[in-house]
Amino acid sequence: MSRRLSTFSKVPPIGSRSVLIAIDGSEHSKKAFDYYVNWLHRPDDSVTIYHAVEPVSLPTLSLSSPMGIPSSEWSNIVEANVKRVRELENDYSAECLRHNLIYQFLYESVEHIGASIIQQVEKYEVRLIVIGSRGLGAIKRTIMGSVSDYVVHHANTAVCVVPSIDEVECTS
Protein backbone atom coordinates (compact mmCIF):
# COMPACT_ATOMS: atom_id res chain seq x y z
CA MET A 1 0.00 0.00 0.00
CA SER A 2 1.73 3.15 -1.12
CA ARG A 3 -0.54 6.01 -2.21
CA ARG A 4 -3.99 6.42 -3.64
CA LEU A 5 -5.88 9.59 -4.49
CA SER A 6 -9.45 9.61 -5.67
CA THR A 7 -10.69 12.44 -7.84
CA PHE A 8 -13.02 15.04 -6.38
CA SER A 9 -16.66 13.94 -6.24
CA LYS A 10 -17.57 17.14 -8.13
CA VAL A 11 -15.47 19.85 -9.71
CA PRO A 12 -14.58 22.28 -6.89
CA PRO A 13 -15.78 25.84 -7.55
CA ILE A 14 -13.14 28.42 -8.41
CA GLY A 15 -11.98 30.09 -5.23
CA SER A 16 -13.32 27.36 -2.97
CA ARG A 17 -11.74 26.92 0.45
CA SER A 18 -9.50 23.87 0.61
CA VAL A 19 -10.01 21.82 3.78
CA LEU A 20 -8.04 18.78 4.92
CA ILE A 21 -9.61 16.44 7.46
CA ALA A 22 -7.04 14.03 8.90
CA ILE A 23 -8.50 10.64 9.82
CA ASP A 24 -7.13 7.46 11.34
CA GLY A 25 -10.15 5.24 11.83
CA SER A 26 -10.62 6.22 15.48
CA GLU A 27 -13.68 7.71 17.15
CA HIS A 28 -11.59 10.86 17.63
CA SER A 29 -11.22 11.39 13.89
CA LYS A 30 -14.91 10.58 13.31
CA LYS A 31 -15.73 13.22 15.92
CA ALA A 32 -13.52 15.72 14.04
CA PHE A 33 -15.30 14.93 10.76
CA ASP A 34 -18.71 15.37 12.40
CA TYR A 35 -17.58 18.66 13.95
CA TYR A 36 -16.50 19.93 10.53
CA VAL A 37 -19.83 18.94 8.93
CA ASN A 38 -21.94 20.51 11.69
CA TRP A 39 -19.97 23.65 12.55
CA LEU A 40 -17.33 24.54 9.97
CA HIS A 41 -18.58 23.39 6.55
CA ARG A 42 -19.23 25.90 3.78
CA PRO A 43 -21.14 24.78 0.67
CA ASP A 44 -18.25 25.52 -1.71
CA ASP A 45 -15.48 23.88 0.38
CA SER A 46 -13.32 21.30 -1.35
CA VAL A 47 -12.48 18.66 1.25
CA THR A 48 -9.60 16.20 1.26
CA ILE A 49 -10.15 13.28 3.61
CA TYR A 50 -6.56 12.25 4.38
CA HIS A 51 -5.48 8.97 5.94
CA ALA A 52 -1.77 8.51 6.56
CA VAL A 53 -0.76 4.95 7.35
CA GLU A 54 2.49 4.03 9.02
CA PRO A 55 4.09 1.15 7.10
CA VAL A 56 3.58 -2.32 8.48
CA SER A 57 6.90 -3.29 10.02
CA LEU A 58 8.42 -6.70 9.75
CA PRO A 59 8.74 -8.53 13.04
CA THR A 60 12.21 -8.79 14.49
CA LEU A 61 13.95 -11.97 13.42
CA SER A 62 14.94 -14.24 16.25
CA LEU A 63 17.70 -16.80 16.45
CA SER A 64 15.18 -19.50 17.33
CA SER A 65 13.28 -18.85 14.10
CA PRO A 66 15.76 -17.48 11.55
CA MET A 67 13.30 -17.74 8.67
CA GLY A 68 11.12 -15.03 10.19
CA ILE A 69 7.49 -14.54 9.27
CA PRO A 70 6.00 -16.81 6.58
CA SER A 71 5.13 -14.98 3.37
CA SER A 72 1.48 -16.10 3.56
CA GLU A 73 1.17 -14.59 7.05
CA TRP A 74 2.83 -11.37 5.87
CA SER A 75 0.48 -11.26 2.91
CA ASN A 76 -2.51 -11.65 5.25
CA ILE A 77 -1.29 -8.71 7.37
CA VAL A 78 -0.94 -6.46 4.32
CA GLU A 79 -4.34 -7.55 2.95
CA ALA A 80 -6.00 -6.80 6.31
CA ASN A 81 -4.51 -3.28 6.28
CA VAL A 82 -5.66 -2.64 2.71
CA LYS A 83 -9.15 -3.90 3.60
CA ARG A 84 -9.29 -1.59 6.63
CA VAL A 85 -8.31 1.44 4.50
CA ARG A 86 -10.90 0.56 1.83
CA GLU A 87 -13.57 0.29 4.53
CA LEU A 88 -12.55 3.73 5.82
CA GLU A 89 -12.76 5.13 2.30
CA ASN A 90 -16.21 3.62 1.76
CA ASP A 91 -17.50 4.86 5.13
CA TYR A 92 -16.21 8.41 4.71
CA SER A 93 -17.28 8.57 1.06
CA ALA A 94 -20.81 7.60 2.08
CA GLU A 95 -20.81 10.31 4.78
CA CYS A 96 -19.46 12.92 2.36
CA LEU A 97 -22.12 12.08 -0.21
CA ARG A 98 -24.82 12.12 2.48
CA HIS A 99 -23.76 15.66 3.42
CA ASN A 100 -23.29 16.71 -0.23
CA LEU A 101 -19.60 17.54 0.26
CA ILE A 102 -17.17 18.15 -2.57
CA TYR A 103 -14.45 15.73 -1.52
CA GLN A 104 -11.58 13.47 -2.41
CA PHE A 105 -10.09 10.63 -0.37
CA LEU A 106 -6.32 10.27 -0.13
CA TYR A 107 -4.33 7.65 1.69
CA GLU A 108 -0.65 6.87 1.68
CA SER A 109 1.96 4.94 3.58
CA VAL A 110 4.29 7.34 5.40
CA GLU A 111 7.06 7.30 7.99
CA HIS A 112 5.87 10.34 9.99
CA ILE A 113 2.15 11.10 10.02
CA GLY A 114 2.37 14.70 11.27
CA ALA A 115 4.96 15.66 8.67
CA SER A 116 2.93 14.03 5.89
CA ILE A 117 -0.16 16.03 6.89
CA ILE A 118 1.89 19.23 6.64
CA GLN A 119 3.18 18.16 3.19
CA GLN A 120 -0.39 17.64 1.94
CA VAL A 121 -1.44 20.99 3.39
CA GLU A 122 1.29 22.72 1.39
CA LYS A 123 0.62 20.68 -1.76
CA TYR A 124 -3.13 21.40 -1.83
CA GLU A 125 -2.84 24.96 -0.45
CA VAL A 126 -5.15 23.99 2.40
CA ARG A 127 -6.78 26.86 4.32
CA LEU A 128 -8.20 24.77 7.19
CA ILE A 129 -6.97 21.56 8.82
CA VAL A 130 -9.42 19.60 10.97
CA ILE A 131 -7.96 16.94 13.22
CA GLY A 132 -9.10 15.00 16.26
CA SER A 133 -7.24 14.73 19.53
CA ARG A 134 -6.95 11.70 21.79
CA GLY A 135 -6.90 13.97 24.81
CA LEU A 136 -3.49 12.92 26.07
CA GLY A 137 -2.22 14.70 29.14
CA ALA A 138 0.91 16.84 28.95
CA ILE A 139 3.23 14.08 30.19
CA LYS A 140 1.92 11.38 27.82
CA ARG A 141 1.95 13.85 24.92
CA THR A 142 5.59 14.71 25.70
CA ILE A 143 6.66 11.07 25.92
CA MET A 144 4.55 9.58 23.12
CA GLY A 145 4.25 12.56 20.83
CA SER A 146 1.00 13.77 19.36
CA VAL A 147 0.08 14.16 15.71
CA SER A 148 -2.29 17.04 16.47
CA ASP A 149 0.40 18.77 18.54
CA TYR A 150 2.89 18.41 15.66
CA VAL A 151 0.37 19.77 13.15
CA VAL A 152 -0.50 22.78 15.32
CA HIS A 153 3.17 23.70 15.68
CA HIS A 154 4.16 23.19 12.03
CA ALA A 155 1.13 24.29 10.01
CA ASN A 156 1.12 27.62 8.22
CA THR A 157 -2.68 27.76 8.15
CA ALA A 158 -5.67 27.49 10.50
CA VAL A 159 -5.98 24.28 12.50
CA CYS A 160 -9.11 23.09 14.29
CA VAL A 161 -8.23 20.45 16.89
CA VAL A 162 -11.41 18.74 18.03
CA PRO A 163 -10.98 17.57 21.64
CA SER A 164 -11.46 13.98 22.70
CA ILE A 165 -14.85 12.30 22.75
CA ASP A 166 -16.14 13.40 26.14
CA GLU A 167 -15.12 17.03 25.82
CA VAL A 168 -17.22 18.39 22.95
CA GLU A 169 -20.67 18.02 21.43
CA CYS A 170 -20.55 17.74 17.64
CA THR A 171 -24.19 18.04 16.67
CA SER A 172 -26.03 21.26 16.07
- pLDDT value of residue 4: 64
∠ CA(144), CA(150), CA(154), 5° rounding? 160
pLDDT band at 3 (very low <50, low <70, confident <90, very high): low
- Alpha carbon distance 127, 120 (integer Å): 11
Q: What percent of the chain has pLDDT over 90?
A: 58
The span from the first CA to the last CA of the chain, in angstroms, equals: 37
- pLDDT value of residue 99: 97
**Whether the predicted pLDDT of 71 surpasses 90:** no
**Whether the predicted pLDDT of 157 surpasses 70:** yes
Ramachandran region, residue 125 (left: φ > 0; alpha: ψ -120 to 50; beta: rest): left
**Whether the predicted pLDDT of 39 surpasses 90:** yes
- pLDDT value of residue 61: 53
- pLDDT value of residue 121: 97
- pLDDT value of residue 120: 96
- Name the superfamily (CATH) of residues 3-56+72-167: HUPs (3.40.50.620)
Evaluate whether 109 touches 55 at the Cβ level (below 8 Å).
Answer: yes
